[in-house]
Amino acid sequence: MGLVEITRRLAEFAACTPPSLISDDARTHARRAMLDTLGVALAGSREDVAKKVAELACAQGGIEEATLLGRPGKLPAAEAALVNGTAAHSLDYDDVQANMRGHPSVPLLPAVLALGEKFGASGRDVLDAFVIGFEIECKLGRAIGGPHYALGWHATSTLGTLGAAAACSRLLRLDAAQTQTALGIAASLASGVRQNFGTMTKPLHTGWAARNGVVAAALAAGGLTADARALEGENGFLRAMSGGAEIDAAAAVRDLGEPWEIISPGIAVKLYPCCYATHRAIDAAVAIRGASGAAIADAERVEVVVTPGTLSPLIRRLPETGLEAKFSMQYCVAAALIDGDVCFGTFGEAAVARAEVRRLMACVEVSEAGPQGQFPIEGSATVILYTADAVKHSRTVETPRGDPRNPLTWEQLLTKFRDCAGLALPEERIERAVELIERWDELPDVRETAAALSG
């Protein structure tokens, strides 16, 4: 794997980067990501998968260290990270990042929030740990992402485990050697396969990544050992997780913080609670629905053409459940054409079973064409609807709303947060949480924010 000491250099970056080098712009982007992630976690706390994980964790009990988002009670920090991390990904409504090829915030925030609450960390310290963990998981994605994803690994949980371990090490103020050990431990804890997309196990991936990040840092702090070259060694994470493919391992430590990954390429925020690979096509289908109206009922064929690589996570062609439907281009486009929107209700079991949706879904033909984009951010989607009387309706979308190049305003993020949080919290608690999140980096202790978010 070469002579670059990747594990050591990432550890030194996590442990030794002074707060003065973390830009205000990076912190602003982190606060935006936190607002979005907390919102989807609150909404997700009502999903069956989140309930099942919470029931198991609560049955095991333990020291009450950290809040369960949208639920009553507290658990040990690692178990709270597990529950909250699962909830945050249960709707597939959380942010994505190009270099990571996954969802950067959901493994990180549940981990640092749980540890921050346990130790009474300041808002600024939690923000900085989040930025550091974000940088490391995305830089690792830059090094390994394509071959890693192609082998079937779910980068959100594999790279997310390493990012969470780095973030937790930073928050615990571990030195570089201890952080290096934490990364080594995390390298052996990281897992998650894409075959489980469309099942309850996919959101479990992120909960487990958050939990393992907490555990790896805590074990390193307690003196557990790991190999110093666990990432770059001959039998290390990077080689094992890329299948021995040719990768640019040095990219993992190249230009750390210059610019910060959270700023460039930045984060894509979702406006639809399903796989981001469907979002351009959904936008196009919604636009056709708005322009053509009643013509949808006369649809005879729908053609969807997307950038190469877009379809790799969309493994459910004709879904039978709401979870499967989140990973079906055919279903998402059909639902958008019929309903003129895609929302929480789109993925209810009754919605998926509708006869008109099943009919139109069977008419959707999907293909890839054109130049390769940087998955999952870059690319385009063209949707063409053909009616029985030979009328054609077409729309192409390249930059969906929420894309880093077409970002949501703070007010639009607040609207999404309030809509999500309203499923779990009363209005006065939501507004208190908003007030605290807006001044997150000024908070002397994050415990008040955690309390506002409990059920």
Predicted confidence (pLDDT) per residue in 2-14, tens digit:
558 999 999 999 9
Which pLDDT does position 373 carry in this prediction? 67
**Residues 6 or more apart whose Cβ sits within 8 Å of residue 209:** 85, 107, 156, 157, 158, 160, 161, 164, 190, 192
Residue-wise pLDDT for 123-151, tens only, equals: 999 999 999 999 999 999 999 988 999 99
Return the percentage of the chain with pLDDT > 70, whole number. 98
The CATH number that applies at residue 390 is 3.30.1330.120
In terms of residue numbers, what domain contains 438?
Answer: 6-269+415-452
Tell me, yes or no, whether 231 and 150 share the same domain. Answer: yes
Tell me, yes or no, whether 421 and 378 share the same domain. Answer: no
Low-confidence ranges of the chain (pLDDT < 70): 1-3, 293-294, 373-377
Tell me, yes or no, whether 23 and 171 share the same domain. Answer: yes
Q: Is residue 408 part of a domain?
A: no
Tell me, yes or no, whether 170 and 288 share the same domain. Answer: no
Which pLDDT does position 126 carry in this prediction? 98
Which pLDDT does position 2 carry in this prediction? 52
The CATH number that applies at residue 181 is 1.10.4100.10
Q: Is residue 1 part of a domain?
A: no
The DSSP string of 80-120 is HHHHHHHHHHTTS-S-BBTTTTB-SHHHHHHHHHHHHHHHT
DSSP H or E stretch at residue 367: strand 364-368
Which pLDDT does position 337 carry in this prediction? 95
Q: Is residue 52 part of a domain?
A: yes
165 and 213 Cβ atoms separated by less than 8 Å: yes
Q: Is residue 403 part of a domain?
A: no
Q: Kind of pairing, strands 381-387 and 364-368?
A: unpaired
Residue-wise pLDDT for 52-98, tens only, equals: 999 999 999 999 999 999 999 999 999 999 999 999 999 999 999 99
> What is the count of structural domains for the chain?
2
